[in-house]
Amino acid sequence: MAITQANTAQGIERSSDQFSTFFVADLFFGVDVLQVQEVLRHQPMTPVPQSPDVIEGLINLRGQIVTAIDMRRRLKLPCRPVELSPMNIVVSGSDGAVSLLVDEIGDVIQVDASTFELPPANLNPIAKLIVRGVYKLNHQLLLVLDAERTVDLSLGISP
């Protein structure tokens, strides 16, 4: 697996050229495969009273308590249809593992570094904070999440 450097507004970041992909509403996202701990079907959750709205709850992952963040709420998108159970992408961050609740899991894909671009100006304000950039694929754009910024709930949360 090749390690590449991606230019971002924050500077140069090291990442792999492979991404675990997933869908949230009609958006196609990827997170660096090196940051993904595991992918799981819907898990039972324990609600956390008085937590920020984006936190769906806590899951017990083989004895490890993991916070689950609803990506639809994080991105201020419409609620997930009741008949659609979320999937979990558990990412490893500096503060430990966090689960991102997404609509559908995609594949692990390898991208061509030459197709990388900075995030488009028309992204919603929250997405601008957590999307590192985009890759142009044949039939769609891959929005690359910055996992650390995605789980940093101080970004983009208004009282």
The pLDDT, as a whole number, for residue 156 is 64
Place of tokens 């956390």: 48
Task: Check whether 99 has a pLDDT greater than 90.
Answer: yes
Q: Is residue 98 part of a domain?
A: yes
Query: Is the pLDDT score of 158 beyond 60?
Result: no
In a domain, 159, yes or no: no
Contacts of 144-150 spanning 24+ positions with Cβ under 8 A: 144/6, 144/19, 144/29, 144/30, 144/31, 144/32, 145/29, 145/30, 145/31, 146/8, 147/31, 147/32, 147/35, 147/91, 147/93, 148/93, 148/94, 150/31, 150/69, 150/71, 150/74, 150/91, 150/100
Is residue 158 a part of any domain in this protein? Answer: no
CA 3 – CA 24 distance, rounded (Å)? 27
What is the average pLDDT score of the chain? 86
Average pLDDT score over residue span 142-159: 80
Tell me if 114 is assigned to some domain. Answer: yes
Q: Looking at the 3D structure of the chain, how many domains does it have?
A: 1
* Mean pLDDT value of segment 101-107: 96
Residue 157 lies in a domain: no
**CB of 115 closer than 8 Å to CB of 136:** yes
Q: What is the pLDDT of residue 94?
A: 81
| Host domain of residue 76 | 3-151
pLDDT for position 16: 67
Q: What CATH number is attached to the domain comprising 75?
A: 2.40.50.180
Instruction: Please determine, for residue 80, whether its predicted confidence score (pLDDT) is greater than 50.
Output: yes
pLDDT at 148 over 50: yes
Residue 96, amino acid? G
Say if 156 falls within a structural domain: no
Tokens encoding 81: 């249809």
pTM of the model: 0.84
Is 61 domain-assigned? yes
Tell me what pLDDT residue 123 has.
Answer: 85
pLDDT for res 47: 94
Question: Above 90 in pLDDT, residue 124?
Answer: no
Residue 106 covered by a domain: yes
For 3-59, the pLDDT digits (tens) are 344 443 344 344 568 999 999 999 999 999 999 999 999 999 999 999 999 999 999
Higher pLDDT, 154 or 149: 149
